[in-house]
Amino acid sequence: MADAKREIERKYEATPETRLPDLTRVPGVSAVVDKGVHELDAVYYDTADLRLAAASITLRRRTGGSDAGWHLKLPVAPGVRDEIGVPLSDTLPRGLTSLVRARTRDTELLPVVRLRSLRQIHHLVDGEGALLAELSRDAVRAERLTEGGGPSAAWDEIEVELADDGDPSFLDTVEKKLRKAGVNPAASPSKLARALAETAPEGAAVPKTTAPPAPEHLRTAGDHVLAYLREQADALLAYDPAVRRDLPDAVHQMRVATRRMRSAFKTFRKVIDRSVTDPVGEELKWLAAELGVARDQEVLAERLRSRIDALPRPRLLGPVRGRLRLWGVAHRSDARRRAVAVLDSKRYLALLETLDALLGDPPLLKAAGGAAARVLPKAVLKDYDRLATRVHHALELPAGEARDLAMHEARKAAKRARYAGEATTPALGKAARKFAKRMKAVQTVLGDHQDSVVARDALRNLAIQAHAAGESAFTWGLLYGQEEAAASQREAELPQVWAKASAPRLRADLSG
């Protein structure tokens, strides 16, 4: 059984002679309790080319201390990681290796570094004895386990980890006290990173975490487009373990990354060759559709649940909540299994390999070398023209199925135009940001209309099921009528929202 927790900590440089200040003088700290000395022995696993380390991910088997076992740490933010732990075993736990499969793929995980630490632990507690943070002084010895490893290394460090549900600002207060005593933040983000650097064979490359390029380094249209595409590829990898863990909103965010990338391939077809990106886009479309089964079900269930919650009790005839709950659980369970199966599929792993190859050697066209301020607005405005054509077509149609379909097509065009504005904001600034905001408003109206279309289809099926089970279908019919009214309201709102989004000045500003 996996045990997950959020780890928030700070690391500091130290030597055996480093003296800690009196931490009872930190506001809120009543006592510093000595919890003794522990011997820890940890072996860290990675691929031979250190893919996990490059992504700031650690996977280890540790004995000693109070939390012996296997631990996987996934980065959330600087100094913040999610730690998933499972009991000790002699083999790599499948539950943990699956969470890093998007990084490792079919490459073998090997023991790369062994860290043995002598840890002295102190608890910072408040007046009631509640734990505020744990302070550890570690004397660390590192040994490279891979063939041809470099020299061993040794150092001392101090670690302060916030208690569960603690206030992160408490760590700022502790750090202020430590800094005044001459105890400074560690140069390395983790023990593993330092061990890999200090035990590396002579001439070997040390894995470095990738960071987005600074704005001043993005000069051409190609620079900006590639930076955006790499950002989406990174998001795809980052949300993979979150989807596998069934974390809230993870499927949505991963799906958004696939859509943004696919949209960018189309929007910037003058910058990056579509003859190469189109097949990749089709695979991204497949992935988004597979993930969408889970996400769409989640959104729909919440929409119907909120509709039911808003009804007066006399209008709830029959076991309405129970039927919706059973319907939601059944669909969600199937969607969840399907999403995980997709992430374990060879097709998905092949897509990740293809993306690596594409971004490693991008098929840039001549326009990629042009100035961003000249090339990118043309791409954004082309997406706008596409949207304008679809909106005008939808508004010309009478209410009914044909109009529903036309508004759905306009919604997809609005999303693409919005993504184009967001993608070009680093290059075009305020004008692109404002354009994206207006496109998002159009997308929201059209999206809510489409959600109503989908909800009505589900409500009709629920009504049929209720009737077949001898239950009243009154409430489902009532909700169906509400969704029809909501769709009509969105249709009435669209002209006004579109008028703001289609203001000529909005487009003129993009070109400066």
Q: What pLDDT does residue 374 have?
A: 95
- Kindly state the average pLDDT of the residues 120-136: 96
CATH code linked to domain 217-370: 1.20.120
- Reply yes or no on whether the pLDDT at 1 is more than 60: no
- Reply yes or no on whether the pLDDT at 210 is more than 80: no
Of residues 112 and 150, the one with the higher pLDDT is 112
Classify the phi-psi angles of 285: left when phi > 0, otherwise alpha if psi is within -120 to 50, otherwise beta. alpha
Q: How many Cβ atoms from other residues are within 10 Å of residue 112's Cβ?
A: 23
Q: What pLDDT does residue 264 have?
A: 98
Q: What pLDDT does residue 119 have?
A: 96
Residue 129's Cβ-side half-sphere holds a number of Cα atoms within 13 Å equal to 0
Provide the pairing of β-strand 80-86 with 3-14.
Answer: antiparallel
Nearest to 229 by CA among 103, 356, 351, 346: 356
Q: What pLDDT does residue 402 have?
A: 94
What is the per-residue pLDDT across 293-347, written as a single tens digit (0 to 9) for each? Answer: 767 877 888 899 999 999 999 999 989 999 988 887 766 667 778 888 999 999 9
**What b/e readout covers 129-159, taking b as 16+ CB neighbours within 10 angstroms?**
eeebbbbbbbbbebbbebeeebeebebbbbb
Q: How far is CA 511 from CA 341, 436, 507, in A?
A: 45, 15, 7
- Reply yes or no on whether the pLDDT at 409 is more than 90: yes
- What's the CA gap between 86 and 97, in Å, rounded? 12
Reported as a pLDDT band with limits 50, 70 and 90, residue 239 is very high
* Ramachandran angles phi, psi of 138, nearest 5°: -115, 130
Q: Specify whether the CB–CB gap between 410 and 491 falls below 8 A.
A: no
What is the per-residue pLDDT across 480-499, written as a single tens digit (0 to 9) for each? Answer: 999 999 999 999 999 999 99
Residues 6+ apart with CB under 8 A from 199: 113, 142, 143, 144, 149, 150, 151, 152, 153
Place of tokens 């249709």: 491
Classify the phi-psi angles of 347: left when phi > 0, otherwise alpha if psi is within -120 to 50, otherwise beta. alpha
If you write DSSP's letter for every residue of 241-273 in order, what string do you get?
A: HHHHTT-TTHHHHHHHHHHHHHHHHHHTTTTB-
Provide the pairing of β-strand 69-77 with 80-86.
Answer: antiparallel
- Reply yes or no on whether the pLDDT at 413 is more than 60: yes
- Kindly state the average pLDDT of the residues 122-139: 96
Q: Specify whether the CB–CB gap between 57 and 72 falls below 8 A.
A: yes
- Kindly state the average pLDDT of the residues 430-453: 96
What is the per-residue pLDDT across 364-405, written as a single tens digit (0 to 9) for each? Answer: 999 999 999 999 999 999 999 999 999 999 999 998 899 999
Q: Label each residue of 104-145 as H, E or C.
A: HCCCCCEEEEEEEEEEEEEEEECCCCCEEEEEEEEEEEEEEC
- What's the CA gap between 405 and 398, in Å, rounded? 12
Q: Which amino acid is at 354?
A: T
Q: What pLDDT does residue 87 have?
A: 94
Class of the 3-198 domain?
A: mainly beta
Residues 6+ apart with CB under 8 A from 351: 280, 283, 284, 287
- Reply yes or no on whether the pLDDT at 442 is more than 70: yes
- Kindly state the average pLDDT of the residues 218-234: 94
Q: Specify whether the CB–CB gap between 108 and 91 falls below 8 A.
A: no
- What's the CA gap between 494 and 407, in Å, rounded? 10
Residues 6+ apart with CB under 8 A from 378: 270
Q: How many Cβ atoms from other residues are within 10 Å of residue 231's Cβ?
A: 17
What is the per-residue pLDDT across 249-295, written as a single tens digit (0 to 9) for each? Answer: 898 899 999 999 999 999 999 999 999 999 999 999 999 999 887 67
Q: Specify whether the CB–CB gap between 450 and 430 falls below 8 A.
A: no
- Reply yes or no on whether the pLDDT at 448 is more than 90: yes
- Reply yes or no on whether the pLDDT at 163 is more than 80: yes
- Kindly state the average pLDDT of the residues 196-205: 80
Q: Alpha helix (H) ranges present in 189-345?
A: 191-198, 221-244, 250-267, 274-309, 320-343
Q: What pLDDT does residue 294 have?
A: 67
Residue % of the chain over a pLDDT of 70: 96
- Reply yes or no on whether the pLDDT at 35 is more than 70: yes
- Kindly state the average pLDDT of the residues 419-436: 96
Reported as a pLDDT band with limits 50, 70 and 90, residue 63 is very high
What is the per-residue pLDDT across 309-318, written as a single tens digit (0 to 9) for each? Answer: 999 999 999 8
- Reply yes or no on whether the pLDDT at 65 is more than 60: yes
Chain mean pLDDT for the chain: 92
